[in-house]
Structure 1
């Protein structure tokens, strides 16, 4: 169901992009727009992981690290039947993590120092499993493509007033409306895809680590930290916010059209239902496992 919804949303993004190209330059404009988008996607496909890791000054975490994160990740990767990703460490006190890479063979997982200092080993396992699920489901590639489409749509919308074809088809008011609505629609589709993939990664991550409660507890603990601790690199690069397991930009608690992530309490409730614990959320998760070897 999640894959079908994602496919429909990506089809909507493609249709929006092609429609905008047609309005700007007819059939020729649509063709040129498609070629430009393809070039942008190829560039992003090959370089997105390096670009994002550089944005957040992520440093490689060598094998044999003192906390045993490599061994933990290798075991989870075996559970998932996938290659071991490269591991990176981001020096920020905000607990968080993200995955990047074009496929499972060329993937990386980045965790913050705040994550390994404030979560237990079980909670860290839940987080790593969630990120492995993103890699396994090709979510990192999907989000790169949608982000590229969104950027291309915004670029074309900004060109709208300079193309006579769009004014002939839409008029001045219609062209101005298109400049505003097309990027907005692209952003909404991008955010909807991101939220859909988060729920899917939660489910798959819970299966990889073997215990949905570990991930549920980790999400609550990360949300508490992210809501009060700034992530300066993420604030400087808000376009990468959708990649993190919890929004690093202090998003509102409720699901809405402009949220890059589902509400944490909704994700926790789904994981607890998966574990057969129903709505019992606060008492267990707030106590949670004690801080682990990274504390």
Structure 2
């Protein structure tokens, strides 16, 4: 991805443009991690969950963080949404794991432990940083592509009269650069999900627990939806999915379960008691003004 962005910058502006692109990318990396986590959490209406509200979840997360050798224990946030989902924002030094109301109500403590281990795996593997870097490069490529279209449009009279010759490399980058970057970003995301599954299995010693959680996530939805529209939750072809096919992830986890665990399994305390404020949640997931679906 970096080579494609660099090649496009070189084609547009030469060595000086490439240098300024590197400087701009470095500045964006410094600024983005400090802004994005709070913005994303606020869009989802996430609020912190204290250890008094869910002591079992916090104790499990502390143990997972110790095993993963994280410098700090991530905070836990509650998202009042019926969708069954979990996501992580931040970095290794300051991360937050968001759990939806649907996730907390659907999974038992064993499955929730493995979901937390999966998210901790993302943090330990620096996936948040690497995916942020990939997203930034993809956006840079898109901006340069739009700028290239503008330049081409403004110079079209000179091109038609033969006074300006447009190199084919420029045309190819203009047409296919953003699409190639998107495919590479999606492929990277799927590979990081596989690695996070492996990290979770190593941290907990219980790959079947994560496989059980993934199976429940795959079955979410009304009965008639699963019966008549079995693919309505994942309508995209596998090449366009940010996550690998669930069946493949479960198969790999089951294969890991046949081997001796790399770590002793975590203790399984009684099921966590849901906080009192989790009695009322938002309406079913829908598309919001921000473009997010939750």
Q: What's the TM-score once normalised by structure 1's chain length? A: 0.76
Asked if 1:251 is matched to 2:251, the reply is: no
State how far apart, in whole Å, the 2-side matches of 1:21 and 1:169 are: 18
Greater mean deviation of Cα atoms: 157-166 or 67-76: 157-166
State how far apart, in whole Å, the 1-side matches of 2:87 and 2:149 are: 38
Alignment CA distance shift 1:69-1:42 (3 Å): same
Aligned to 2:131: 143
Cα drift, residue 221 of structure 1: 0.7
Please report the RMSD computed on the Cα atoms of aligned residues, expressed in angstroms: 2.8
Counterpart among 89, 93, 108 of residue 82 in structure 2: 93
Aligned to 1:215: 210
Asked if 1:271 is matched to 2:253, the reply is: yes
Asked if 1:193 is matched to 2:197, the reply is: no
Aligned to 2:219: 224
Alignment CA distance shift 1:102-1:77 (3 Å): closer
Unaligned runs of 5+ in 2: 224-231, 260-269, 275-294
Between Structure 1 and Structure 2, the one with more helix by share is 1
Cα drift, residue 38 of structure 1: 2.1
Aligned to 2:291: none
Greater mean deviation of Cα atoms: 60-69 or 16-25: 60-69
8 Å contact from structure 1 (residues 46, 102) kept in 2: no
Unaligned runs of 5+ in 1: 1-12, 229-248, 278-290
8 Å contact from structure 2 (residues 109, 271) kept in 1: yes
Report Cα offsets for 1:102-136 as digits up to 9, x if no partner.
Answer: 22x21111111100101110000010000001001
Aligned to 1:132: 120
Runs of 4+ in 1 over 6 A off after TM superposition: 164-167
State how far apart, in whole Å, the 1-side matches of 2:249 and 2:173 are: 35
Q: What's the TM-score once normalised by structure 2's chain length? A: 0.76
8 Å contact from structure 1 (residues 254, 262) kept in 2: no
Greater gyration radius: 2
Count of residue pairs brought into register by the alignment = 248
Alignment CA distance shift 1:69-1:132 (3 Å): same
Aligned to 1:281: none
State how far apart, in whole Å, the 1-side matches of 2:144 and 2:237 are: 32
